[in-house]
Structure 1
Amino acid sequence: MAEEDDDRHNHRFAGVTSEVIPKGRHSHVHRIVVNTDFLDHHHEVIIETGPPIPVGNGKHVHFVKGMTTINDDHEHDLEFATLIDRPLV
């Protein structure tokens, strides 16, 4: 949530991560570049995920923490996990 009183709001976004970006010998991250939805303004999310977190069955997710760009004199903190890689495969 950002701002106060009648201006208090949040934004949503959805997207697809970049291809694998190798980190170290056995790990990787992804880059996320997306715009939030528009509520009289929008924000850009330009961020790198954390390393993979195994969730079983050979699949993994990534934790992400950071913030949006500043727009309309504020920014939003972000904290989320990506969805499971190829959930139907």
Structure 2
Amino acid sequence: MANNKVQLSDGTVLLDLTGDTVTPETLMAGVIAHNAAGERIVGICVAKEFNVDGSVVKLVDVPSRTMQQEGSTLKLSPAAINEHTLTI
């Protein structure tokens, strides 16, 4: 059974995924996360456009799991998914 909210008996919320909107289609390919229901999902998105300060940045999948376009880099570390770097 998946958990989407962890709350202590005093009411302190340690984790709350109930408002999350991440889906496999919006998560970069191979990245692991949990949806609003607390279920494990794996990203399937291999190309995406982002609007950064009014400029459109296209990220295109290349074999090294580094997604690049002219001065923009998103590095995904398969071993440590929390190590994301976006340089613009």
Question: Please, what TM-score do these two structures have when normalized by structure 1?
Answer: 0.33
Question: Please, what TM-score do these two structures have when normalized by structure 2?
Answer: 0.33
